[in-house]
Structure 1
């Protein structure tokens, strides 16, 4: 009985150790600065969750990095006019080449909405815009939904996201840890779809 208890505690300890090491590796690979994007793609997909994501995505569109932009996961009560207020100098883009998705309620839904949109517009490449801490999970879901498309990550780094000293901010530490757990869940689910080419 004692030996069985020791074995169980040892296994649990190893699992905790692996999770902790994995968490530190997850945080270490997050982008701390926004990239200087030189690539161009057929489309741009912005996952809602903060105004910075939409602003950066519209800016990429205005600079010709993509032909159309999908903002996915928009709140049902939010209009295109209200979103356009976030980027007043790019107001015209909302009348020509920006589409809004109101159905997605989570990252899985974002990926499914992007799939439908990309297929409808016959796209072969997408720039994915979301927060730096959310990018690993977003790419897992996007690869699951769009395994044959070229996906270019554009991680948005908020000025509030102090990744360099995350351990000193309990709120940021919680955010990153729960995002890490969600990321692990996304990877496990993706295995059931036969996707195992992990690049994150």
Structure 2
């Protein structure tokens, strides 16, 4: 075996091992029991899926943890009556403080709609409510769309997920693998965006310092 082939084989094996280890870490983190938390923020965004997400976001809103809530990615045929029942909120609270987004079709759409909504209201911090396995990718997408807004994760464990030994449940394992593979490119893009932003900020700071020095001398 030539040196080049040896490098390619060992390199590919190393990447495969890293990906597998990364998946195990990802799966263990998102299936760990969710610690009870009561975060506070300017607003709440619920990314739709299991009904427990909306109910949990509504609980935070009703407790005054934030002033307003956006339910993003609602199915077009789901009306106010159904959302009232799912949320458990009093109708007056729902009418005053809940916005419904029917436009978002995926996580990228959720992030875009949340960006527009947060900008319109001038929010600086947003509590993000979604399923535990969906949280890493959601935070990546939202961070790309709202780089200057503080995102406060509030994961909800799906009722279908086992409390232990997730690898024994074929359906859950498939869901985790699919979500992990979707998360990786978004995480890579977020990392690149932050590096570019950091480099740009450093360049601006350097130019400002040079201009200040030139002014002094």
TM-score (norm 2): 0.83
What's 1:55 paired with? 55
Cα 1:134–1:108 shift into 2, 3 Å: same
Unaligned runs of 5+ in 1: none
Say if 1:112 and 1:145, in contact at 8 Å, map to a contact too: yes
More helix by proportion, 1 or 2?
A: 2
CA shift, 1:180, in A, is 0.7
Contact kept, 8 Å, 1:34 with 1:155, in 2: the verdict is yes
Would you say the 8 A contact 1:31–1:155 is kept in 2? Answer: no
* Residues 167-186 of structure 1: pairs in structure 2 closer than 5 A: 167-186=167-186
Instruction: Tell me, yes or no, if structure 1 residue 64 matches structure 2 residue 61.
Output: no
CA contact (8 A) 1:111 1:141 kept: yes
> Contact 1:144/1:195 (CA < 8 Å) preserved in 2?
no
Aligned residues: 196
Q: Secondary structure at the match of 1:40?
A: coil
Which range is displaced more, 163-172 or 57-66? 163-172
Structure 1 residues 44-65: Cα deviation after superposition (integer angstroms, max 9, x where no partner): 0000111110111111100111
- In structure 1, C-alpha distance between the alignment counterparts of 2:21 and 2:9, rounded to whole Å: 18
2:62·2:89 contact (CA, 8 Å) conserved in 1?
A: no
The answer (yes or no) to whether the contact 2:58–2:88 under 8 Å persists in 1 is no
State the shift of 1:7 in Å. Answer: 3.9
Distance change in 2, residues 1:89/1:121 (3 Å):
closer
Q: Give CA deviations for 1:14-50 in whole Å, capped at 9, x if unaligned.
A: 2211110110111222263333333311100000111
User: Which moves more between the two structures, 26-35 or 134-143?
Assistant: 26-35
Q: 5 Å matches for 1:4-153?
A: 4-30=4-30, 32-153=32-153
Q: 1:144 to 1:195 in 2, by over 3 A?
A: farther
- Partners of 2:128 and 2:86 lie apart in 1 by 19
Gaps of 5+ in 2: 198-217
TM-score by length of 1: 0.89
Equivalent residue of 1:113, what SS?
A: helix
Q: What root-mean-square deviation, in Å, do the aligned CA atoms of Structure 1 and Structure 2 show?
A: 2.0
Kindly provide the CA deviation profile for residues 118-166 of structure 1, in whole angstroms up to 9, marking residues without a partner as x.
1111111110000001111111111111111121110001232125211
Point out the structure with max Rg over C-alpha.
Answer: 2
Measured in 2, the distance between the counterparts of 1:18 and 1:66 equals 39
Moved more, 33-42 or 57-66: 33-42
